[in-house]
Amino acid sequence: MSSEAAHRIDLDPRTAPPFPEAAFPILRNTQLRSNVAHATDVIQAKRARLVAEKSDWQDLRRAAAAIKDDVLANLGRYLVEFESRCTAAGGHVHWATDGAEAQRIILDILRQENAAEVIKIKTMTSAEIHLNPALEAAGIHAVETDLAELILQLGDDEPSHIVAPALHVNRGQVREIFARRMSLADLSDDPQALTAAARTYLRRKFLSVDAAISGVNFMVAETGAVTIVESEGNGRMCLTLPRTLITLAGIEKIVPRFQDLEVMLQVLARSATGERMNPYSSLWTGVTPGDGPQNFHVVLLDNRRSSILARPVERQTLRCIRCGACQNTCPVYRQTGGHAYGSVYGGPIGAILTPQLMKMEHAQSLPYASSLCAACYEVCPVKINIPEVLIELRAQVVDQEREQTARAFDPMYSGMRIANSIFASAARFRWAQRTARLALRPFTHKDGWIHKLPGLGARWTMSRDLRGLPSQTFREWWASRPQEKP
Amino acid sequence: MNSPAQFRQLILDRIRGATAVRTAESNQRVQHTYIRHGSLEPKQRIDLMIERLREYDAEVVECAPEDLSSCIAHCLQSSGRHIFAAPSALPPGWLAPGVTWRIDTGLSYGEIEACDGVVTASFCGIADSGTIVLHHSAAEGRRVLTLLPDWHLCILRTSQVVQTLPEYFDRCAQPPSLATYISGPSATADIEMTRIKGVHGPRFLNVILVHDQPAPHSTTAANLNGALA
């Protein structure tokens, strides 16, 4: 285990290395890259096929974005409405300003229930607030019941995708983890056999553990109902069998009316897994006598979402319904997978959400982890203009850096200042062109390309070639061309 | 130490401060320009429902209302299973002879788990996605009943089948307080995106589609008749 510990993935943005530093070793991990490429190719193809059959897809996207914009503009009202309906139906609603507060609330509930163990439905929000380590520290064992999350938990690994958190792991690796942790030496690497092993392993947990923790897909303000969409049935188990259910919800995960789900469910399933509908969706309202948990708690988590809400360009980040489509389509994510982002939220949405959740005090490299190609915007079911937010956040990072005196000696900033001076004067520009042409000539290959540069230039040429400068500029050619007789 | 009420107020104050500046209202007006009502004729709608269910590996049998009891009996017999759970208000005529029934008047999880299968009614079928909707009435059973047994036989009437998801929402006079939407048996694709059927929920979904609506004349035929008249 020591070698694994040495490669421990750090998904805490406060301590994770900057994106390029984290990405570099991953780019050399061909196994991981091929696992990620395969998984994202499969989901993308399924999504594309099912989106193409919806002639009203753009109308649905517009409606979904409008529903979430209405939610965000009137968030306080909808949350209070949800709270009163949920409470009237027998639920308990708690408000947590940050992750530590949410942890404390959840621990208090579990302690009252004398819980030694708790079963969990995949929830990225619980990973955001580092809930599992907090539970373990308090002596409560959390059992992940989503197959992918179980693979990660038993393999001492971290999620790399919002929807399919273990997509960087292949069947051989799953076999190794299950064989070791479930003491099943003869286990084959057939996905059917691996899934059956997980079913058996978890079945007795479902029937014996008295408390469950879930996230949420949508809360309905009008009725106080909560909805979870899933595929495996582990969600239904956790939502039905235990005595106590704790649902952790980001404050933005709300829709005004029950009827709004007719839009959200259509766009979510297609975008997330390329299905017309996911196999199981559950909706419940508070407590129903004789059916399901009789002790139901919702923990509404702010954790800096309200500060994102205050900013006009960035507010759209909170429309996100966590479908992961932006990750599958992103040319950067598809090369690095999710771990390089140093956050439970990787890919394009992570690149804008994570630094904002960190109040721009950490993860400042993430807004740069993008080519701004806008593929993410095109697939986003709630039309988050991710490139627009990325550029806004980059501007904020530059503003921060401008105030740091160390940046006076940073090569990039020196280069920018020099460029500023060169572009400001025609004479200096002509001089720079001549100088650069002479300086680059020794490095220019016969094919007209520069394949390798020394020093700082190597940072460019280590991953792509640079076109050599032509022997003549346009102005030089214009001045020297034969004059036509009038 | 702050009290819970203070945290609540703090968050609401932050939200109200953040939303004090109104953004363009036009962006928040939901345009219902997406397709709410399907254009398929009744027969096509039912055919689509069956096609979608079969895509999910659900077994579908069709029958006339008067044949329902014998159809249920036949399904149970051919399943090779013996002990079946039933919601408390399942119509008595559906409790086919020859098998053991466990009526849910408060069965324990262990007793439900020990059943080979379960038979229930349903609230609605959505053809576009092949979705079965349960609102967990007394004939549909509480949630655990359709969760633990490995085999689920669901009775759906053609009059309950709509084409689009929005049409289902139109059928809800009141928003349900409990609902389960089932689109095929439990499945996962978490290992190399290979779809595996049956993780935790029932591995086998069976649907009896009861033709309780006489197939009306197709609209084209009706129009033609109108034109001729």
User: Which of B11, B29, B177 has its CB closest to that of A95?
Assistant: B11
Pairing type for strands A92-96 and A295-301 reads parallel
Residues 3-42 of A with CB under 8 A from B: 35, 38-39, 42
Dist. CA A391–CA A368, nearest whole Å: 9
C-alpha dihedral over A254, A257, A259, A262, to 10 degrees?
A: -20
Are the Cβ atoms of B144 and A284 closer than 8 angstroms?
no
Number of CB atoms found within 10 A of residue B29's CB: 11
Which pLDDT band holds residue B215 (cuts at 50, 70, 90)? low
Pairing type for strands B187-188 and B196-197 reads antiparallel
Is the CB of residue B199 less than 8 Å from the CB of residue B219?
no
pLDDT tens string A363-417:
999 999 999 999 999 999 999 999 999 999 999 999 998 888 777 778 888 888 8
Contacts with A234 (C-beta within 8 Å, 6 or more apart), sequence order: A121, A145, A146, A147, A202, A206, B199, B200
Are the Cβ atoms of B15 and A306 closer than 8 angstroms?
yes
Dist. CA B162–CA B160, nearest whole Å: 7
Read off the pLDDT of each residue in B154-182 and give the average, rounded to a whole number: 98
Residues 297-356 of A with CB under 8 A from B: 300, 302, 306-307, 309-310, 312, 315
**Number of helices followed by number of strands (H, E) in chain B:** 6, 12
pLDDT tens string B13-33:
999 999 997 766 656 788 889
Is the CB of residue A233 less than 8 Å from the CB of residue B135?
no
Q: Specify the CATH architecture of the domain B42-184+203-211.
A: 3-Layer(aba) Sandwich (3.40)
pLDDT tens string B52-68:
999 988 999 999 999 99
- Domain extents for chain B? 42-184+203-211
Is the CB of residue A184 less than 8 Å from the CB of residue A178?
yes
A414 touches chain B (CB under 8 A): no
pLDDT tens string B144-164:
999 999 999 999 999 999 999
How many cross-chain Cβ pairs, A to B, lie less than 8 Å apart? 244
In single-letter form, the type of residue at position A135 comes to L
Are the Cβ atoms of A70 and B113 closer than 8 angstroms?
no
Residues 81-120 of A with CB under 8 A from B: 89, 94-97, 101
Residue A483 tokens, joined: 């004059």
Q: 3-state class of B135 per DSSP?
A: coil
Contacts with A168 (C-beta within 8 Å, 6 or more apart), sequence order: A32, A35, A36, A39, A160, A161, A337, A338, A339
Q: Contacts of residue B130 in chain A, CB cutoff 8 Å?
A: 276-277
Which neighbouring-strand residues pair with B180?
Answer: A282, B134
Give the HSE-up count for residue A41: Cα atoms under 13 Å, Cβ half-sphere. Answer: 9
Is the CB of residue A341 less than 8 Å from the CB of residue A354?
yes
What percent of chain B is modeled with pLDDT above 70?
A: 90
Read off the pLDDT of each residue in B193-206 and give the average, rounded to a whole number: 88
User: Which of B110, B177, B200 has its CB closest to that of A233?
Assistant: B200
Are the Cβ atoms of A236 and B168 closer than 8 angstroms?
no
Dist. CA A256–CA A71, nearest whole Å: 7
Are the Cβ atoms of A70 and B15 closer than 8 angstroms?
no
Dist. CA B191–CA A70, nearest whole Å: 38
Distances (CA, A) of A445 to A152, A340, A451, A467: 48, 34, 7, 10
Which of B132, B145, B151, B190 should one mutate to test binding to chain A, selecting the residue with the greatest count of A CBs within 10 A? B190
Are the Cβ atoms of B200 and A60 closer than 8 angstroms?
no
pLDDT tens string A120-162:
999 999 999 999 999 999 999 999 999 999 999 999 999 999 9
CATH number of A2-306: 3.40.50.10420
Looking at the predicted structure, is the pLDDT value of residue B169 above 50?
yes
Dist. CA A275–CA B75, nearest whole Å: 29
Q: Identify the residue whose tokens are 């106590």.
A: A244
Are the Cβ atoms of A199 and B144 closer than 8 angstroms?
no
Dist. CA A261–CA A328, nearest whole Å: 24
User: Which of A38, A195, A233 has its CB closest to that of B201?
Assistant: A233
Q: How far is A68 from chain B (nearest CA, A)?
A: 8
Dist. CA B133–CA B121, nearest whole Å: 10
Contacts with A415 (C-beta within 8 Å, 6 or more apart), sequence order: none
Q: What Rg value do the Cα atoms of chain B yield, rounded?
A: 23
Q: Residue A453 has what pLDDT?
A: 93
Which pLDDT band holds residue B196 (cuts at 50, 70, 90)? confident
DSSP E strand boundaries for A330-440: none
pLDDT tens string A218-234:
999 999 999 999 999 99
| Burial of residue A150 (number of CB atoms within 10 Å: 0-12, 13-18, 19+) | buried
Looking at the predicted structure, is the pLDDT value of residue B220 above 60?
no
**What element of type H or E holds A225?**
strand A225-230
Is the CB of residue B150 less than 8 Å from the CB of residue B206?
no
Residue A188 tokens, joined: 């084959």
What are the b/e assignments for B136-172, b being 16+ CB within 10 Å? bbebbbbbbbbbbbbbbbbbbbbebbbbbbbbbbeee
Distances (CA, A) of A472 to A33, A320, A469, A475: 42, 51, 8, 8
Is the CB of residue B36 less than 8 Å from the CB of residue B167?
yes
**What element of type H or E holds B171?**
helix B165-171
- Domain extents for chain A? 2-306, 414-480
**What element of type H or E holds B51?**
helix B42-55
Distances (CA, A) of B147 to A104, A395, B118, B150: 32, 51, 9, 8
Is the CB of residue A75 less than 8 Å from the CB of residue A251?
yes
Residue count (chain A): 486
Which pLDDT band holds residue B226 (cuts at 50, 70, 90)? very low
Is the CB of residue B154 less than 8 Å from the CB of residue B207?
yes
Q: What Rg value do the Cα atoms of chain A yield, rounded?
A: 26
Return the closest-CA partner of residue A22 out of A407, A426, A456, A369.
A369
Which neighbouring-strand residues pair with A450?
Answer: A444, A466
Are the Cβ atoms of A69 and B28 closer than 8 angstroms?
yes
DSSP E strand boundaries for chain B: 59-63, 83-87, 100-104, 117-120, 124-126, 131-134, 151-157, 161-162, 178-182, 187-188, 196-197, 204-210
> Each residue's pLDDT tens digit in chain A (486 positions)?
333 333 567 799 999 999 999 999 999 999 999 999 999 999 999 999 999 999 999 999 999 999 999 999 999 999 999 999 999 999 999 999 999 999 999 999 999 999 999 999 999 999 999 999 999 999 999 999 999 999 999 999 999 999 999 999 999 999 999 999 999 999 999 999 999 999 999 998 999 999 999 999 999 999 999 999 999 999 999 999 999 999 999 999 999 999 999 999 999 999 999 999 999 999 999 999 999 999 999 999 999 999 999 999 999 999 999 999 999 999 999 999 999 999 999 999 999 999 999 999 999 999 999 999 999 999 999 999 999 999 999 999 999 988 887 777 788 888 888 999 999 999 999 999 999 999 999 999 999 999 999 988 898 898 889 999 998 999 899 999 987 766
What are the two backbone dihedrals, phi and then psi, of residue B82, each rounded to the nearest 5 degrees? -125, -35
Q: 3-state class of A424 per DSSP?
A: coil
Which pLDDT band holds residue B199 (cuts at 50, 70, 90)? confident
Are the Cβ atoms of B191 and A171 closer than 8 angstroms?
yes
Is the CB of residue B98 less than 8 Å from the CB of residue B77?
yes
Q: Contacts of residue A277 in chain B, CB cutoff 8 Å?
A: 126, 129-131, 165, 181, 183
| A259 to chain B: closest CA residue | B169
Q: Identify the residue whose tokens are 């324990």.
A: B108
More confident residue, A481 or B209: B209
Tell me which DSSP letter residue A405 carries: G
